[in-house]
Amino acid sequence: MKPLLFAYRAPKSIEEAVVAVAGDGDAMVLAGGQSLLPAMNFRLAQPTLLVDIQHVPGLKGIAIAGDIIVIRAMTRLREVELDEGVRRANPLIAEALKHVGHIPIRNRGTVVGSLCHADPAAEMPLILVLLGGSLVAHGPAGRREIAAADFFRSPLTTSRRHDEIIVEARFPALARDAGFAFDEVTRRHGDFAIAGVGAIVRLDAQGRAATVRLAACGITDRPVPLVEAEQRLVGTLLASSDVRAAGAAAAAAVSAADDMHATASYRRRVVAALVERAVAKAAVRAKERTAS
């Protein structure tokens, strides 16, 4: 199908873009368009005005400052996936990006666009929540930083105000000795996940889990940290019984109802299995990264 009629503006400054969005209650911000345009073609999204931010200066590229990777709003998914600096600072990001759509989608789609679209099964929101990152919103009164934990509210809904444009996302770097893993289950590669899990594990000198971070997508109305599963693992040697207990705790966090892709009970089994796999892989990598 084709999109409904809309007006189109491509402002040359962030202030102009914010004014344009603020002036129309049904305006939407267009970056790469890989989520918005399918929704418009289906007429699920019917904006009356599209504000294309591709010509706004200062919204392209990646900056790594200390422990923070700054990904600006027009930076494409594929650009981040292939960036050597990002890979060194936080290899978890590239691992998750391989699962986002397909290469031609990642060539156009943006990381910030994926975050703002806020599909509950999407990978990038999960990674930002898992890492405890943040976003920067530019509104009429200037800029404000929003923690990932406060950003994702419900399916396709964030705490971005209508008259704000997200100009960058800030992903913390991964500690040198931290093991990491991301895995998901989909019907076909590139589909949204039935469930996905990210894990970050640090071990102490005795091989016990000193810190464990787990988060999942696809299991509820937003990406969520798996706090109970984390608690089952901290201080343990990550024996198979510990990891199974964490998987069971993660399964209990599933609130998504049956849908066309999977039943809730299948989702619970999927997320439990993913937690077990991700923790095991992250623990192996924690040993390797500590040794190197």
Partner 1 sequence: MTRARPKPAIPVDSGEPKIHVALTVNGEPVERQVSVRMLLSDFLRHELGLTGTHVGCEHGVCGCCTVHIDGKSARSCLALVAQVDGAVIRTIESVAAGDGKLHPIQQAFQECHALQCGYCTPGMVMNILARFEEPVPIDLSDDGIRYLLSGNLCRCTGYANIISAVRRAAELLGRT
Q: Which stretches of the chain bind partner 1, using CB under 8 A?
A: 1-8, 10, 30, 33-34, 37-38, 41-42, 50, 52, 54, 78, 82, 101-105, 107-108, 188-190
Task: Please identify which residue in the block is written with the tokens 């950003």.
Answer: 151
Query: In terms of CB distance, is 177 or 191 closer to partner 1?
Result: 191
Question: Is residue 53 within 8 Å of residue 74, measured between CB atoms?
Answer: yes
Question: Is residue 164 within 8 Å of residue 158, measured between CB atoms?
Answer: no
Minimum Å gap between C-beta 85 and partner 1 is 16
**Which residues touch 259 (CB under 8 Å, ≥6 apart)?**
none
CA distance 248 to 23: 49
Query: In terms of CB distance, is 41 or 255 closer to partner 1?
Result: 41
Query: In terms of CB distance, is 5 or 239 closer to partner 1?
Result: 5
Query: In terms of CB distance, is 52 or 177 closer to partner 1?
Result: 52
Minimum Å gap between C-beta 71 and partner 1 is 18
Minimum Å gap between C-beta 22 and partner 1 is 20
Query: In terms of CB distance, is 29 or 131 closer to partner 1?
Result: 29
From 203, 173, 214, select the one nearest 71 (Cα to Cα): 173
Query: In terms of CB distance, is 102 or 176 closer to partner 1?
Result: 102
Query: In terms of CB distance, is 33 or 139 closer to partner 1?
Result: 33
Minimum Å gap between C-beta 99 and partner 1 is 10
From 133, 131, 165, select the one nearest 146 (Cα to Cα): 133
Minimum Å gap between C-beta 84 and partner 1 is 11
CA 178 to chain centre: 19
> DSSP of 248-274, one letter per residue?
HHHHTT--PPP-SS--HHHHHHHHHHH
Query: In terms of CB distance, is 10 or 234 closer to partner 1?
Result: 10
CA distance 153 to 213: 20
What the block records as the tokens of 292 is 């190197």
Minimum Å gap between C-beta 149 and partner 1 is 30
Bridge-partner residues for 29, per DSSP? 51
Q: What is the DSSP letter of 194?
A: S
Minimum Å gap between C-beta 20 and partner 1 is 14
Minimum Å gap between C-beta 70 and partner 1 is 23
Question: Is residue 43 within 8 Å of residue 2, measured between CB atoms?
Answer: no
Q: What is the DSSP letter of 239?
A: -
Looking at residue 235, its amino acid is: G
CA distance 125 to 132: 11
